[in-house]
């Protein structure tokens, strides 16, 4: 069967952080494929200061000059009102919202735990996880009503951990939990949600220490090589949800959350933990649960019990008894 090009005619997609780097490449690509693009970027520096309308307005001008449709949003996504405003901009400008690609982030200077400024930690968490939730919450009723939506969150290889990266890594790792829960809630309503861990030469990676690796990275990992894969995740043809993909330089790979089968003891002493650790660390029998219900069932089976905490279609715990 011959398949035609993937297009986004009539679809409105909100792209955050779209004034530069990855977001800009994404906005230009989707605009060229017929999407009505809302370029959301308040133009701040990497530490969250010096806001400017310039970057977002420049990208909107580029899209329009090429014959596309675009609108500007320079609200501060680190606030609930700003995140809501980004969604409202889509509705005012184009009357609908079909997708969100949340690239916006910030990365203040790296610092060890004893030197970590609270302001930096809060800012990065708010721009990544809080804004991601706020925008999804605002867009959800509209996507659910039309039975269609696509959301792509941006995590990072930084979630694996790095020296001085506590702020950024924590924020990006939290995005994974956000995505996995919303993906379960959205799939039955036609709202498919995934995450990517991109590799690209951006303002953030431009701060790499000089090295042969940095030279290779800058030549290989162009932002434009991330945008096509993300565009597929934001398209009608996407049929996956709850997944994490590493994307960069033309490479696409699946990132999974895994747990080994481990070792079962009596749980009766500290010394038993000491004795079990070599077996646990050496166990290569991994399983890959898609959600908590699947994980609880697998663990129960290891104990010889046939059952699980619940299903993906119901809450796992009862509401709090307030009487």
Phi and psi angles of residue 279, each rounded to the nearest 5 degrees, phi first: -70, -40
270 found inside a domain: no
181: domain CATH number is 3.40.50.720
Residue 318 included in any domain: no
Does residue 300 fall inside a structural domain?
Answer: no
Predicted structure pTM score: 0.94
Q: pLDDT at position 207, please? A: 86
Percent of residues, the chain, with pLDDT higher than 90: 82
Least confident of 93-107, 206-220, 279-293, 300-314: 300-314
101: DSSP letter: E
* Burial profile 168-180: b = 16 or more Cβ within 10 angstroms, e = fewer: bbbbbbbbbebbb
Give the pLDDT confidence score for residue 52 in this predicted structure. 72
Laid out side by side, the sheet with 99-102 consists of 69-73, 36-40, 12-16, 99-102, 149-154, 191-198, 244-248, 251-255
Cβ neighbors of 298 (< 8 A, separation 6 or more) are 287, 289
pLDDT per residue as tens digits for the range 110-121: 899 999 999 999
What CA–CA distance (Å, rounded) separates 69 from 7? 14
Both structure tokens of 268? 């009766």
What pLDDT is recorded for position 1? 47
pLDDT of the residue at 107: 81
Residue 177 lies in a domain: yes
Domain that holds residue 226: 12-255
By three-state DSSP, how is residue 47 classified? coil
Domain annotation covers residue 295: no
Residue 272 domain-assigned (yes or no): no
- Judge whether 143 lies within some domain: yes
Classify residue 297: in a domain, yes or no: no
Across the chain, mean pLDDT equals: 93
Task: Please state the domain count of the chain.
Answer: 1
103, 148, 168, 213: the catalytic one is: 168
- pLDDT tens by residue, 132-157: 999 999 999 999 999 999 999 999 99
47 or 168: which leads in pLDDT: 168
Greater pLDDT, 77 or 309: 77
Kind plus residue range of the DSSP H or E element containing 247: strand 244-248
> Quick check: is 168 catalytic?
yes
């Amino acid at each position: 069967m011959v398949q035609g090009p993937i297009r986004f005619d009539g679809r409105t997609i909100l792209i955050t952080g779209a004034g530069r780097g990855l977001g800009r490449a994404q906005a230009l690509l989707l605009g060229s494929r017929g999407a009505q693009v809302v370029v959301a970027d308040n133009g701040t520096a990497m530490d969250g200061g010096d806001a400017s309308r310039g970057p977002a307005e420049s990208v909107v001008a580029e899209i329009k000059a090429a014959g596309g449709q675009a609108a500007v949003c320079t609200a501060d996504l680190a606030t609930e009102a700003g995140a809501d405003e980004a969604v409202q901009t889509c509705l005012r400008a184009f009357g609908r919202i079909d997708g969100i690609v949340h690239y916006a982030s910030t990365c203040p200077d790296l610092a060890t735990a004893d030197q970590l400024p609270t302001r930096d930690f809060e800012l990065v968490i708010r721009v990544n996880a809080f804004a991601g939730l706020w925008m999804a919450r605002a867009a959800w009723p509209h996507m659910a009503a039309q039975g269609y939506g696509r959301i792509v969150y941006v995590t990072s290889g930084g979630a694996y951990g790095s020296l001085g990266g506590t702020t950024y890594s924590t924020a990006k790792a939290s995005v994974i939990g956000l995505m996995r829960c919303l993906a379960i809630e959205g799939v039955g309503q036609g709202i498919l949600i995934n995450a990517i861990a991109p590799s690209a030469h951006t303002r953030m990676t431009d701060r790499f220490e000089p090295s042969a690796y940095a030279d290779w990275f800058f030549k290989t990992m162009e932002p434009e090589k991330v945008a096509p894969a993300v565009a597929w995740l934001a398209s009608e043809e996407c049929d996956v949800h709850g997944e994490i993909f590493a994307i960069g330089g033309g490479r696409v790979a699946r990132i999974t959350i895994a747990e080994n089968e481990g070792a079962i003891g009596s749980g009766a002493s500290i010394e038993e933990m000491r004795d079990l650790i070599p077996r646990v660390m050496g166990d290569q029998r991994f399983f890959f649960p898609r959600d908590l219900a699947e994980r609880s069932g697998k663990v129960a089976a290891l104990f010889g019990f046939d059952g699980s905490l619940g299903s993906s279609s119901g809450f796992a715990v009862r509401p709090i008894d307030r009487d």
